[in-house]
Chains A and B, each alone.
Chain A
Amino acid sequence: MSSPVESLVNREYKWGFVTDIEADSVPKGLSEDTIRLISAKKHEPAFMLDWRLKAYRGWLKMSEPHWPNVSYPIIDYQNIIYYSAPKTLKPLGSLEEADPKLLETYQKLGIPLTEQKILAGVAVDAIFDSVSVGTSYKKQLGQLGIIFCSFSEAVQEHPDLVQKYLGSVVPASDNFFAALNSAVFTDGSFVYVPKGVRCPMDLSTYFRINAQNTGQFERTLIIADEGAQVSYLEGCTAPKRDENQLHAAVVELVALEGATIKYSTVQNWYAGDEEGKGGIYNFVTKRGKASRGAKISWTQVETGSAITWKYPSVILQGDDSVGEFYSVAVVNGRQQADTGTKMIHMGRNTRSTIVSKGISAGRGNNSYRGLVKVLPKADGARNYTQCDSMLIGNRCGANTFPYIDVQNPSASVEHEASTSKIGEDQIFYCKQRGLNTENAISMIVNGFCKEVFKELPMEFAVEAQKLLGVSLEGSVG
Chain B
Amino acid sequence: MLQIKGLRASVGENEILRGIDLAVKPGEIHAIMGPNGSGKSTLAQVLAGHPAYTVTAGSVRLEGEDLLELEPEERAQAGVFLAFQYPVEIAGVTNAYFLRAAYNALRKARGQEELDPIDFLDLLEEKLKVVGWESEIMQRAVNSGFSGGEKKRNEILQMAVLEPKLAILDETDSGLDIDALRIVADGVNALRRPDRATILVTHYQRLLNFIVPDFVHVLVEGQIVKSGGKELALELEARGYEWLTGVPEAAPA
Residues of A at under 8 Å CB distance from B?
Answer: 3-4, 423-426, 428-437, 439, 443-444, 446-451
Contacts and interface: CB of A to CB of B under 8 A. Distances in A.
A431 B81 CA distance: 11
Contacts of B103: 434
A416 to B, nearest CB: 14
Contact of A443 (B72, B73, B98, B158): B98
Contact of A447 (B73, B87, B88, B141): B141
Contacts of B106: 434
B75, B92, B101 — most chain A CB neighbours (10 Å): B92
Interface string B95-131: 0011001110110010000000000000000000000
Interface stretch (B46-54, B211-219, B223-231): B46-54
Given A432-B48, A447-B93, 8 more contacts: A3-B52, A425-B86, A431-B49, A432-B72, A433-B98, A434-B106, A439-B101, A443-B101
A434 B48 contact: no
10 contacts: A423-B88, A433-B162, A434-B76, A434-B105, A434-B109, A436-B71, A443-B93, A443-B97, A444-B93, A448-B91
B90 interface: yes
A439 B90 contact: no
A431 B76 contact: yes
B82 interface: yes
Interface of B: 48-52, 71-73, 75-77, 81-82, 84, 86-88, 90-93, 97-98, 101-103, 105-106, 109, 141, 158, 162
Nearest to B102: A433
A434 B88 contact: no
A428 B52 CA distance: 10
B105 A435 contact: yes
B92 A449 contact: yes
Given A3-B51, A443-B90, A436 B98 contact: no
A241 B226 CA distance: 66
Dominant secondary structure at the A interface: helix
Contacts of A430: 90, 102
Contacts of A437: 73
A450 B93 CA distance: 8
B222 to A, nearest CB: 21
Given A434-B162, A446-B93, A429 B73 contact: no
Contacts of B102: 430, 433-435
Nearest to B87: A429
Nearest to A424: B51
A446 B101 CA distance: 13
Contacts of A432: 48-49, 72-73, 75-76, 81-82, 84
Contacts of A434: 73, 76-77, 102-103, 105-106, 109, 162
A433 B77 CA distance: 8
A99 B244 CA distance: 83
A429 B101 CA distance: 13
B91 A429 contact: no
Contacts of A429: 84, 87-88, 90
B119 to A, nearest CB: 18
Given A433-B105, A435-B105, A446 B92 contact: yes
B88 A431 contact: no
A326 to B, nearest CB: 14
A435 B51 contact: no
Contacts of B72: 428, 431-432
A448 B91 CA distance: 6
A204 B41 CA distance: 54
Nearest to A3: B51
A423 B73 CA distance: 17
A3 B11 CA distance: 13
A207 to B, nearest CB: 29
Nearest to B52: A424
A451 B141 CA distance: 13
A157 B86 CA distance: 66
A426 B82 CA distance: 14
A154 B88 CA distance: 55
B105 A447 contact: no
Nearest to A388: B91
Contacts of A433: 76, 98, 102, 105, 158, 162
A51 B82 CA distance: 68
B109 A447 contact: no
B90, B98, B158, B162 — most chain A CB neighbours (10 Å): B90
Contacts of A3: 51-52
Nearest to A357: B92
Contacts of A448: 91-92
B71 A431 contact: yes
A434 B72 CA distance: 8
A108 to B, nearest CB: 28
A451 B88 CA distance: 21
B145 to A, nearest CB: 14
